[in-house]
Amino acid sequence: MTTSILKIYNASAGSGKTNCLAKNYLYILLKSDNQNEFTRILCLTFTNKSSEELKERILQCIKYFAQKTKYTHNKEYDSWKNDFKKNFNITDQELAKRSKKILLSILNDFSSFSVQTIDKFTYHIIQSFFVKKNFNLEINTNEFLLEVAEKILYKLNYYTTKKVNNFFLKKYSLEKLKAGKNWDIKLELIKILKLIVKEIHYFPMIGIKKKSPIDWINLKNTLLNRTNVFEYECKKQGNKFFNFLTKTSIITSSFYYKKIPKFFKNLCKIKDYPIICFEQIENHTLYNNNANVYQKNLINKYQSHIIDLYHKAVLSYKLGISSYILDKLILKKLNLFILIDEIKKELVLFKKDNNILLNEELNQILYNKIIKNIVPPTIYEKIGTKYKHYLIDEFQDISYLQWENIKILVENTLSENGNVIIVGDPKQSIYRFRGGDSKSFFNLLYTPSKYYQKRICSINTNFRSFEEIVKFNNLLYYSISQSFNSPIYNNIYKTSTQKIFKKYGGYVKLFFICKTQKNHKEYVYEHTEKIINNLLKNNYKLSDIAILVRKNEEGYFLYEQLMKNGFNVNTNVSFLLKNSLDVKIIIHIFYLYVNPNCIKHRIAIILLLLVNKQSVLLNYDIHDFIKQTLHLPLNLYFINIINYIIKSKISRCFNFDTMYNQSIYYIAEKIIDVFDLLNSNNKSFIYSFLNLVHKSKKLIGNSMIDFLEYWEYNKCKISITYNTDNINAIRVMTIHKSKGLQFPIVILPFADWKIKSKLKEGIWININPKLYHGLDKFYLEIDSHLETYIKTHYDPYLWNCYEESLDQSQFENTNLLYVATTRAIDKLFIFSKQDDKSIYFYLKTLLKEKKIWNNDKFNYSFGNIK
């Protein structure tokens, strides 16, 4: 191993990244004469799980080397042992002696055995220079920002003395209302807060944060004046044309397909129709065949003048439309950006009052203090002196700021002949929503550095999957590589071919689902259950099977169906609380508390309870029961339900009259008890709901109406992670959580996501500072309006931004597929619905290239299922 060289391992799936790090760690330890060399090694991983796994692997191996008499053999560790003996020119006894000393040193000073997450490392650095070291670290950013947004909205509405804030707040709400959108701007406030807080917006937000409310108001006035001038000019051009028609007695309907009049009509209403499609029409006959001779003669007489008016108008439109559209898009956001200074102040105040630091902001805080030389030099000097070797795992998931903060230490240790080893796989970069930035890895792989040398090693042997799975993946991802516009993405997948270690075995089956297939989910589940039963017949266990999904709701659907049909299931997907049948029942009863005579909620409660109790009214006419029960006084309504649906031997009654002075929490508990809703399968949902009710009291008080409003606003975001721990059970999990794991059998039931999906978070675009009061960047969400404009009016910069965002989206969606298909050891089953914009297109293209595609065939297999 050569010193003063940054060593980068570009490792594909199943190639043993953890082993690679562990082996390099051991090499550094065993090479040194110092038995405490481990105290000078800092190993940074991405998750707690991977850091624990790496620690365990290192300790196991040292222990294995240290034992003189071996009762067990480990083929892999024996191979490492032989390599170390050869490299260091030592005997078995010398290696055992050295390993034993190192092991004892680690056990005696375990706190200095530094294998930790990057977040934890950053947290400790920040902790070392904060005056108050007992701050609270807030992990759940979204929940925290919701609370801050509610506080800000309350203050702006009721307490602010700055009338300008209140004015623009209300003006923005009215504009949303006029546009047919929800007038409540809480969601918009949260978006602004995310721009302030989230790391991916750190650099563009520097300029935004410097602007005062007056700056924003001045910019708004400039944009309003500019857009008004353009609208006036367009209207003027349109009126000039129609005035000419009136003056010359030309009838509009006489024009060929009415194209010219329509163009000028839209010009007059440019405010409503900013995107006008036009074409050169001077070579066409200007009148239609039904025009009378007099009108034809008139049009022919003034044809050159009409064409001239048209060309002048088109030229005027083309010159101004790009900046006009951009101005309009920016104006949509400006009323809220005027409040950004106030929002920022409230956020800082709220964090200070509650002594909170956001986990999301740690990297920004550290980076900011480094570039401003606020971080005491002694802290980084101390770290630089303490550690001589750095090992970084899962580098494709590191954020830009994380790397910038660590890079100082890396460059320092390389300048002092230390070791820096980086391991990653850009094809497994799937955490951009958390700030993961694969571009840092691309720069390391493809950009030379003037500060240090690099050595790039490709690890391309797949030790995980059997031959047919590796061959299928090699063919698939080579085929996919050709679909990328970006040469970097193309090269990453083009060179992703893996060598096969486990020969003779493996099986892949593709299921294509017809577009016309109804009940898509039920169809997939039916076939998934058949696959599971066939596997069980062939001596596989339930615990061998993993079902991977992209969305939590897909996982929840499969979990419910499998449990209903008697399968044991382990899952850690996040389930929305609102999808729980029992929670639905409680919410509908809450609504009856507010509105006792609501027929909709009365019917819903009966039907949900019938499903919940598995339709126990088998000998009773349900229709008649509903008819007799529906209009009863509320207490009798509940008595009927309890007697005929719950059918409990315990005497139960439910009366709202006795609960009007009780807390919402007490009412919820009473409903759960009386209607017998709690059972072993739904404990997580019920307890999570009760926890939500308890927590909401601090925010909104004890009003049932306020709670229901709070519920309606938040129900699509409140989720729980439902952990189970059956030894022999099918695993249902998201692709994101499967990363780093492997399973004998993998089923991918919904490989239907789009290849290029629209970015929800929007993009930062460069703008001309001379036109926008010194502002050089602005944040725009890619809605259908902006998308249509970009596609119909070629603006080179916006087009490049848009194309880059789509390419990045394609890369990330392909990475998701790569992670999913490389988890399988023995068998892989993929279901994909026919849609050429989805993953199906990749699979179809591969089959066409292999010349085995058949339009009438819906199943394809590779390898032998036995």
Mean pLDDT lowest for which of 192-206, 606-620, 793-807?
606-620
Task: Give the position of tokens 């090479």.
Answer: 31
Q: 46-60, 123-137, 239-253, 514-528: which range is least confident on average?
A: 123-137
pLDDT at residue 376 in the model:
61
**Closest to 41 measured CA to CA, from 498, 391, 451, 416:** 391
Are 343 and 196 a contacting pair, CB within 8 Å?
Answer: yes
pLDDT at residue number 372: 66
The reported pLDDT for the residue numbered 160 is 45
At residue 744, what is the residue type?
A: P
In eight-state DSSP terms, residue 646 is I
How much is the average pLDDT of 317-329? 85
Amino acid at 790: I
Say how many C-beta atoms besides its own lie within 10 A of residue 225's C-beta: 11
Tell me the CATH class for 487-573+726-754+824-863: alpha beta
CB 49 within 8 A of CB 18: no
- Distance between CA 309 and CA 429 in Å, rounded? 55
How far apart are alpha carbons 583 and 602 in whole angstroms? 15
The per-residue pLDDT for range 742-754, each reduced to its tens digit, is 999 999 999 999 9
> Is the model's pLDDT at 608 over the cut of 60?
yes
User: What are the φ and ψ backbone dihedral angles of 360, each rounded to 5 degrees?
Assistant: -60, -25
DSSP conformational letter for 744: E
Q: Looking at this protein, which amino acid is placed at residue 43? A: C
* pLDDT of 256: 55
Phi, psi at 128, each rounded to 5°: -75, -20
* pLDDT tens track for 567-592: 988 877 667 788 788 899 999 999 98
In this prediction, residues 72-77 reach a mean pLDDT of: 78
Write out the two tokens for 794: 């070629």
pLDDT at 843 over 90: yes
Cα 160 from chain centroid (whole Å): 36
How confident is residue 787, by pLDDT bands cut at 50, 70 and 90?
Answer: low
CATH architecture of the domain with range 5-121+377-459 = 3-Layer(aba) Sandwich (3.40)
Predicted confidence (pLDDT) at residue 117 exceeds the cutoff of 80: yes
831 in Cβ contact with 843 (< 8 Å):
no
Q: Please tell me the predicted confidence (pLDDT) of residue 840.
A: 95
pLDDT in tens, 691-748: 888 888 777 778 888 888 888 877 777 777 655 556 788 999 999 989 989 999 999 9
Rounded Cα gap, residues 398 and 451, in angstroms: 21
797-835, pLDDT tens digit by residue? 667 777 788 888 899 999 999 999 999 999 999 999 999
Beta strands in 558-640 (DSSP E): 569-571, 574-576
Strand, coil or helix: what is 268? helix
Matching residue, tokens 């619905």: 833
Lowest mean pLDDT among 365-374, 383-392, 658-667, 788-797: 788-797
CA dihedral in degrees (87, 91, 92, 97; nearest 10)? Answer: -100
Q: Where are the beta strands (DSSP E) in 319-371?
A: 356-358
Other Cβ atoms closer than 10 A to 582: 22
For residue 296, the number of C-alpha atoms closer than 13 Å in the C-beta half-sphere is 7
Give helix 439-446 / helix 400-415 axis angle, nearest 10°: 30
Q: Residue 685: exposed, middle, or buried by beta-carbon count in 10 A (0-12, 13-18, 19+)?
A: buried
* pLDDT given for residue 373 in this prediction: 67
Instruction: Write down the pLDDT at residue 713.
Output: 74
Determine the 3-state secondary structure of 749 from DSSP: coil
Question: What span, in angstroms and rounded, lies between the C-alpha atoms of 851 and 653?
Answer: 69
Mean pLDDT of the chain: 83
Q: Rounded distance, CA 821 to CA 832, Å?
A: 13
- Asked whether residue 27 carries a pLDDT value surpassing 80, the answer given is yes
Break the chain into its structural domains and give their ranges.
5-121+377-459, 137-354, 487-573+726-754+824-863, 576-721, 763-811
Q: Please, what is the end-to-end C-alpha distance for the chain in angstroms?
A: 44
Same fold: 5-121+377-459 with 487-573+726-754+824-863: yes
